[in-house]
């Protein structure tokens, strides 16, 4: 070693501290820089010498002893710096670590004493006793906090979007994106098993007539001409069927230049499918199987066969062809109750060939006037002239229209104690969307 002008190995280590040789790792996340993810450590790893890398989530300096929570994709793990196993200089440096600093750590996994275990952490039965650490990426004080206490509110959405790199460190968002990844892989495996081929189609394409406006991209090679971003791969997947590929799917990126709504985004991903020589039942069976597989991956079991409701029945019962069936609030027809009454609103609608339809709301009689006005505004936004309000109180049926109804007629409405009945009079193109929004 002297001939090669190298420093003897003994000089690189503190002779009073035994060398720490990492235990061979079986983690699929092992790299040259780490042996495990900290969040995946459990009691089965007790005694293992590990190298970890992650972000400083929280720190606790108890004066001579330092604890910190190290965060990585798998979660949190507690790191302890104690004079019993950590050199003093390392403890001093650890006490100065700021939040969100990126570090690597060498240490040993040990079981926590029973009184020190944390049931709220998946790694709460163990800790890593640190021997050494290195700062990989120093951090300034974060503009928004990543760590939050119980009940602590999130920063304003605008601030979180501005500092998206910090917001994406939150475990909730990471879980969402990881679940999305798992669902995509599940869809791919399922469709592959069904004989579908995943084929990518062009993004820069020719404008085609679709339901929205195209996003356009100018061509450098052909000045004055433009590409269009696809609203869907419709033409390409039909081309594939004509070419004889038989079954196709794609996790397709789609772009539509339209106003934002709760169920519409300018760009989105859809599971795009096309098949040859199939009928409606084939597509329904495929969809039931695919959605069932996706829910099972999410930890939810659903029926293998879905309830089927025809369009006419759905519109009659719910006022919508895509109803939320997690709650009832089904529509009913009250036309015959009002027929022959002297109530002008319903008479005009019935004379024009319309109907009187409504919803019974259990416990709705307790709603305030302000709340009812807000609900009525929703009905009006869908084209209704207003809502006919009736409720059953202590003195019987109450509401502006009650005086136009006979006792027998009100009984036919079947409004129970404490219920609220909201009705709309008009043609189906008015009553359906209005009651759908009210529902």
- What tokens were used for 105? 């750590």
The CATH code for residues 313-438 is: 3.30.1360.30
Torsion-angle region of 11 (φ positive above 0: left; ψ -120 to 50: alpha; else: beta): alpha
**How do residues 230-246 score in pLDDT, each as one tens digit?**
999 999 999 999 999 99
Cβ–Cβ under 8 Å, residues 153 and 120 = no
Structure tokens at 118: 């944390």
| Extents of the domains making up the chain | 38-137, 177-298, 313-438
CATH of domain 177-298: 3.30.930.10
Q: How far apart are CA 246 and CA 273, in angstroms?
A: 11
What is the pLDDT, as a whole number, of residue 13? 40
The segments of the chain whose pLDDT lies below 50 read 1-19
pLDDT at 22: 66
pLDDT at 21: 60
Residue 189 structure tokens: 């495996």
In angstroms, the CA 35 to CA 49 distance is 9
Distance CA 4, CA 367 (A): 88
| Residue 65, pLDDT score | 96
pLDDT reported for residue 209: 78
CATH 2.40.50.140 corresponds to the domain 38-137: yes
Q: If we measure between CA atoms, which residue out of 91, 71, 89 comes closest to residue 81?
A: 91
């Amino acid at each position: 070693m002297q001939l090669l002008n190298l420093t003897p190995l003994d000089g690189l280590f503190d002779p009073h501290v035994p060398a720490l040789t990492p235990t061979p790792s079986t983690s699929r996340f092992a790299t040259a820089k780490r042996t495990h993810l900290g969040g995946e450590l459990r009691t089965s790893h007790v005694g293992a010498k590990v190298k970890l890398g992650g972000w400083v989530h929280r720190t606790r300096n108890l004066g001579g002893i330092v604890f910190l929570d190290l965060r990585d994709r798998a979660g949190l793990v507690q790191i302890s710096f104690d004079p019993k196993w950590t050199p003093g200089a390392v403890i001093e440096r650890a006490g100065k670590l700021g939040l969100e600093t990126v570090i690597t750590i060498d240490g040993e996994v040990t079981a926590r004493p029973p009184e020190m275990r944390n049931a709220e952490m998946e790694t709460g039965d163990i800790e890593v006793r640190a021997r050494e650490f290195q700062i990989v990426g120093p951090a300034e004080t974060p503009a928004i906090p990543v760590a939050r206490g119980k009940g602590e509110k999130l920063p304003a959405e605008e601030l979180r979007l501005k500092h998206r790199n910090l917001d994406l460190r939150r475990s909730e968002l990471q879980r969402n994106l990881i679940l999305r990844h798992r669902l995509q892989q599940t869809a791919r495996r399922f469709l592959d098993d069904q004989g579908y081929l995943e084929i990518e189609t062009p993004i820069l394409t020719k404008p085609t007539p679709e339901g929205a406006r195209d996003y356009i991209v100018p061509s450098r090679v052909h000045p004055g001409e433009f590409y269009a971003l696809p609203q869907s791969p419709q033409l390409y997947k039909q081309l594939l069927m004509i070419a004889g590929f038989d079954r196709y799917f794609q996790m397709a990126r789609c772009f539509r230049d339209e106003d934002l709504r709760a169920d519409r985004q300018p760009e989105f991903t859809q599971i795009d499918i096309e098949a040859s020589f199939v009928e409606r039942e084939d597509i329904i069976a495929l969809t039931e199987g695919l959605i069932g597989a996706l829910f099972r991956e999410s930890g939810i079991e659903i029926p293998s066969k879905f309830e089927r409701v025809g369009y006419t029945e759905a519109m009659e019962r719910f006022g919508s062809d895509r109803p939320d069936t997690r709650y009832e609030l089904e529509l009913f027809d009250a036309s015959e109750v009002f027929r022959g009454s002297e109530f002008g609103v319903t008479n005009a609608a019935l004379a024009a060939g319309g109907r009187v339809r409504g919803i019974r709301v259990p416990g709705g009689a307790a709603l305030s006037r302000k709340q009812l006005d807000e609900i009525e505004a929703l009905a009006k936004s869908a084209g209704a002239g207003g809502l006919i309000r009736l409720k059953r109180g202590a003195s019987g049926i109450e509401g502006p229209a009650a005086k136009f109804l006979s006792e027998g007629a009100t009984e036919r409405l079947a409004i129970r104690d404490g219920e609220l009945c909201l009705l709309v009079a008009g043609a189906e193109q008015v009553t359906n969307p209005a009651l759908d929004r009210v529902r």
